[in-house]
Structure 1
């Protein structure tokens, strides 16, 4: 059964600042810290390859003393708004109605909601009452591709059905004002907020790139490398400095066996739809693929324009490849994202 990606929609939060505009907030936030430390933090922001970040909160709110409860309430309110916006945009692009969707998968890791986001979207868009719900809450940056894999597996077993994957992330709601660790500094420099929706279909009349394969790859003994610690102050970022080197070590096993199962190799891939985890990971991938004549220019551009929006980011990259004229019939695309666990999620597309 053929499963296709029919449309991608996105929603951008209301607040934004360029990196240059953020620097004065760093001066106020880190007032009293060692001068060398302040200069180092500024360099991290200036060299993060992120020109602009969007946020569900104003910079004044982000850099003020707020409780976990206060930040999470904002996360809940804005996640519902952004989720509804990107889902509505995707449905409009596809020419569908919200009630056409048979399964709704929502992914987010930057806040806590019970009922989960999907319940609110069902009511906001008046979706069908027997729509299947699958909230994915703890897979981090990899969850956008994970959601696509789950939707693909459902649709393969259910001909003529349609699915939506909605990713909403607000890393600004996890910023820790009293945490002066390098993990907090780096995450503040590279992350931004955003939302995206992917529509998938096993209906014969729907068009779009076909999902040929989708698989997950799990790194053993690497749970400590990425994630959140739940503290009294909220979700505290865990980000090991060894992440890029670990990815580099596993990269051949992540890519080549997956493609070999389809009798392909990396030379056959026309489009790299990669999640921009951060500048170091982008540089790593460029080094690995540059000699093969491949590029991840779209990945770099999304990082520059929006920062790393966790699970939603790779869907922003995918949206660029869904634009008319970007890919021709027969082209192959490889989607890839990394997340806590540690894991890599892969999807092979054919236009």
Structure 2
């Protein structure tokens, strides 16, 4: 049973800010801190390889001392709006009706909603009453690929069905004004908000790259190197500086057996669709892929234009590849890392 990604679309929030525009706000936020620290953080923002990022909040509002409840209320309001916009956009691109969907997966880790986003979308878009729902939370940046894997498994078991994966992330809603740790600084420097939607199908008449294979790889005893810690002020970022090194040490085990199982090697891959986790992680993966004469230019371009939008970001890279109209038979390798610690990948063939 061939499961295809029929279409992919993105949706950006209404506010945006360049790194140059953020620096004056940064100086106000860090007022009273040691000059050397302020200089260090300014250089961190300037060198983060993110030129612009989008936000569900006005840039001035992001730096206000709002409570967890206030920020989460903004999150709930805005992700519903973004989710409806991006699903509508994807359906229009594919020329699908909302009633043709059999399965809906919604992904987000940057706020708390019960009921989850999918329930709101069912009502707002009049989706079928028997649609199967799956909300995915607490998986962070890797969940864009996780959602694709769950959709693929459902469609593989159910021929002639269609699924929508909607990822909506708002890291600015998790920003901690009183947290001057390096984890929070790095997070503020690289993250932005955004939404994406992938439509998948096991209909014979639908077209798109086939998902040839998928796999999750879990790192032992690394639960504490990436994620969020829930505090009275909201979600406190956890990000270990050793993440790039840990990724590099496991790379061979993550990639080569997976490709070998499918009868291909890195040299056979035409499109490297890698999640832009941040400048250091991107540099680590780029160095490895360069040895195989492969580039991750699409990943770097998305990081520069939008920042790291957690689970949605890899789908922005995928959309960029879609826009190139790959040739029949070309291969794509999707790869993301996230809390757990985990690496997840998908092999595509056009």
**Could you tell me the TM-score, scaled by structure 1's length?**
0.99
User: For each residue in 1:246-299, what CA deviation from the matched residue of structure 2 results, as whole angstroms up to 9, or x when unmatched?
Assistant: 000001111001111111111111110000000011111111011211110000
Query: Is 1:162 aligned with 2:159?
Result: no
User: For each residue in 1:288-317, what CA deviation from the matched residue of structure 2 results, as whole angstroms up to 9, or x when unmatched?
Assistant: 011211110000000000000000000000
Q: Match of 2:228?
A: 228
Q: Match of 2:60?
A: 60
Query: Is 1:274 aligned with 2:274?
Result: yes
Q: Secondary structure at the match of 1:223?
A: coil
Alignment of 1:235-250 (within 5 A): 235-250=235-250
Q: Match of 2:16?
A: 16
Q: Secondary structure at the match of 2:224?
A: helix
List gaps (5 residues or longer) in structure 2: none
Q: Distance in 2 between matches of 1:343 and 1:101?
A: 29
List gaps (5 residues or longer) in structure 1: none
Q: Secondary structure at the match of 2:21?
A: helix
Q: Match of 1:350?
A: 349
Q: Match of 1:194?
A: 194
Partners of 1:5 and 1:207 within 8 A in 2: yes
Q: Distance in 2 between matches of 1:346 and 1:283?
A: 19
Q: Which ranges of 4 or more aligned residues in structure 1 deviate by more than 3 Å? A: none
Alignment of 1:214-225 (within 5 A): 214-225=214-225
Alignment of 1:229-308 (within 5 A): 229-308=229-308
Alignment of 1:71-110 (within 5 A): 71-110=71-110
User: For each residue in 1:31-64, what CA deviation from the matched residue of structure 2 results, as whole angstroms up to 9, or x when unmatched?
Assistant: 1110000000001100000000100001111000
Q: Distance in 1 between matches of 2:286 and 2:67?
A: 40
Q: Distance in 2 between matches of 1:314 and 1:284?
A: 17
Q: Distance in 2 between matches of 1:59 and 1:156?
A: 43
Q: Distance in 2 between matches of 1:18 and 1:270?
A: 32
Q: Distance in 2 between matches of 1:99 and 1:57?
A: 32
Aligned pairs, number = 350
- In the TM superposition, residue 326 of structure 1 has moved relative to its aligned partner by 3.6
Query: Is 1:339 aligned with 2:338?
Result: yes
Q: Distance in 1 between matches of 2:32 and 2:281?
A: 32
Q: Distance in 2 between matches of 1:131 and 1:174?
A: 31
Q: Distance in 2 between matches of 1:124 and 1:339?
A: 31
